[in-house]
Structure 1
């Protein structure tokens, strides 16, 4: 379980995350949604210790992220940031192998190589494994970065806007992959998403943020409701069902 207690972050006079407290369930997919500037990515960055908190505490599986050794935290939690661009010319396999660094410091064992190959196969990247990242499409590169995160083999996987640069087909495939990872590999997956439809379709739990605070949270079926979403996004939103699933239709 991920537990945040009174977490805050400000830039000058602007409070970006304002005393957030929440408990994210272990297992399944949790999506963090909300309008631009709600503090979603900042909160995720503090949970993963990519960004220091001004106040509050975060524990991941009982581990205090502000006090844990870096190697220990990296074996418990992995994160894919929005700005995941690489300047070095790397192959897909080179990139995925970085996921094993917390364990090996670059000296790969047979066990590490098995994790790397398993992640490459899981993301269906075997045919592209020796290609350079700058030779891939945006969707293929995104899959390679997700493979790196999965190769890290952590219980908790955090992804900040993983659907960026993906068209609808590849975004859907990415969400299905995350669902498989949560179900088959026992991962706890936490995503920052802008697309309410994908959040409602694939998430088990949803946290909605607004103005730096948690506006609402709960199981996906309870969150994908017109009155909840309309208040968060300050626009009229209708919710319809398709094949037993809730999807969102915007009116504004």
Structure 2
């Protein structure tokens, strides 16, 4: 379980995360939704200790992220940020191998090689493993980065807008992959996502933020209601339901 208590972040006189408290149970896909500037990515970064919190606390399976050694925390959770730029030219296999650094400290052992092989196989990247990452398409590169966090072998996988720059086909494939990871690999996937249609179809839980605050949380069925979405986004959204299942949201 990840426990957030009074999580707060300010820049100057602007509060970007305002006393956010939540309990994220282990297992499944958890989506954080909200308009631009709602504080979603900042919350994700504070969980991973990439951004310092001004107040509050984050516990990951009873580990206080403020005091937990980096190598211990890196074995509990991994994060893939929104922008992933490479300053050096790496092959697919080399990049996936970086996920093993918390375990290997740069000296790959047979166990590390097995994790890399499994991650490449799981993402269907074996045929690309010797190619340079910058030679791949956007969708293929995103799979390589996901393979890297799989190789890290953490219980919690944090993803900041993993559908960015992906077309509809690759977005669907990515969301299906994330769901498979929770079922087959036992991961807890927490992602910041803008597309509420994908959030409603593939999430087990949804956290909704507005102006830095956590305004509601629950199952997709509980959150994807016109009045709730209207409050989150300050606009009318029509919800289409067939046989009890949400099939789409339309902006009006």
Q: Is the TM value for this pair above 0.5?
A: yes
Residue 247 (structure 1) aligned with residue 242 (structure 2): no
C-alpha contact 1:35 1:210 (8 A) present in aligned 2:
yes
Quote the Cα distance in structure 2 between the aligned partners of 1:243 and 1:134. 44
Deviation of the 1:28 alpha carbon? 0.3
Deviation of the 1:244 alpha carbon? 5.2
> SS at 2:215's partner residue?
strand
Quote the Cα distance in structure 1 between the aligned partners of 2:21 and 2:156. 19
C-alpha contact 1:32 1:209 (8 A) present in aligned 2:
yes
Residue 17 (structure 1) aligned with residue 29 (structure 2): no
Residue 128 (structure 1) aligned with residue 128 (structure 2): yes
TM-score, with normalisation over the residues of structure 1? Answer: 0.98
> SS at 2:218's partner residue?
strand
Give RMSD over aligned pairs: 1.0
Q: Which residue of 1 is the match for residue 27 of structure 2?
A: 27
C-alpha contact 1:224 1:248 (8 A) present in aligned 2:
no
Moved over 2 A (4+): 241-245, 247-252
> SS at 2:238's partner residue?
strand
Quote the Cα distance in structure 2 between the aligned partners of 1:30 and 1:251. 23
TM-score, with normalisation over the residues of structure 2? Answer: 0.98
Q: What stretches of structure 2 of length at least 5 have no aligned partner?
A: none
C-alpha contact 2:157 2:189 (8 A) present in aligned 1:
yes
C-alpha contact 2:76 2:156 (8 A) present in aligned 1:
yes
Residue 114 (structure 1) aligned with residue 75 (structure 2): no
Question: Over residues 193-223 of structure 1, what are the superposed CA-to-partner deviations in whole Å (9 max), with x where a residue is unaligned?
Answer: 0000000000000000000000110011111
Question: Over residues 131-171 of structure 1, what are the superposed CA-to-partner deviations in whole Å (9 max), with x where a residue is unaligned?
Answer: 10110111111110000000000001100000011101001
Quote the Cα distance in structure 2 between the aligned partners of 1:10 and 1:203. 29
Q: Which residue of 2 is the match for residue 211 of structure 1?
A: 211
